[in-house]
Copies of this chain bind each other. A is one copy, B any other.
Amino acid sequence: MTRLDLYPEMLSIDAFEPFGDVLTLGGAEQRIINEGSATRFHDLAKIDIASDYGYPLLNVFRGQAKDIPVRIKMMERHPLGSQAFWPLSNEPFLVVVAKPGAAPAPDALRAFYAPPGIGVNYEKGVWHHPLLALNKASDFIVIDRGGDGQNLDEISFTEDIEILLHGFDDAS
């Protein structure tokens, strides 16, 4: 079994732009509402349900904490809709993505470290690994697409890909 090492980057809006949205209040448009008693951080993600036979789903995913070192061997994508993850815990998680299109080779993957309180929204068709919670089991609000149609593709790798967390103190 060969093994490929993957070094995560800190999640940032710019670096994640090819893959979707970073869900954070920093930089969001703020509107004062309700006669001044509330602030609306407006339109934080491009929720894209893509077709007239789809509809948005509000769900919670409860992800078990991954063993360290984190090893992955597959990726998935949702060709018909975006998928947003907003953490309800105060724990970090890992994001592994590749650009839409043909199935990615392992060396085309990019990994990001999402610090506590920050979420992501995968654009429609972006390859990503399923939820990689760190430290302890964590709940996430997930907004994705329901309705008819084939909205899940998966690929498997022949090698293990190990995500090296050194330098990210919360998780190491």
Contacts and interface: CB of A to CB of B under 8 A. Distances in A.
Interface of A: 23, 25, 28, 33-35, 37-45, 47, 49, 52, 55-64, 66, 84, 86, 88, 121, 130-131, 141-143, 146
A38 B62 contact: yes
A143 B23 CA distance: 14
A71 to B, nearest CB: 13
A43 B54 CA distance: 13
Contacts of A141: 86, 141
21 contacts: A33-B130, A34-B130, A37-B63, A37-B64, A37-B66, A37-B131, A38-B62, A38-B64, A38-B130, A38-B131, A39-B61, A39-B62, A40-B60, A41-B59, A41-B60, A41-B62, A45-B58, A47-B55, A56-B56, A86-B141, A88-B88
A-B interface, 6 closest residue pairs, ranked by CB to CB distance from nearest: A34-B130, A41-B60, A38-B63, A47-B56, A45-B58, A39-B62
Give chain A's interface secondary structure class: strand
Given A25-B60, A58-B84, 13 more contacts: A28-B60, A35-B130, A38-B63, A38-B130, A39-B62, A40-B142, A44-B60, A47-B58, A58-B86, A86-B141, A88-B88, A141-B141, A143-B143
A57 to B, nearest CB: 5
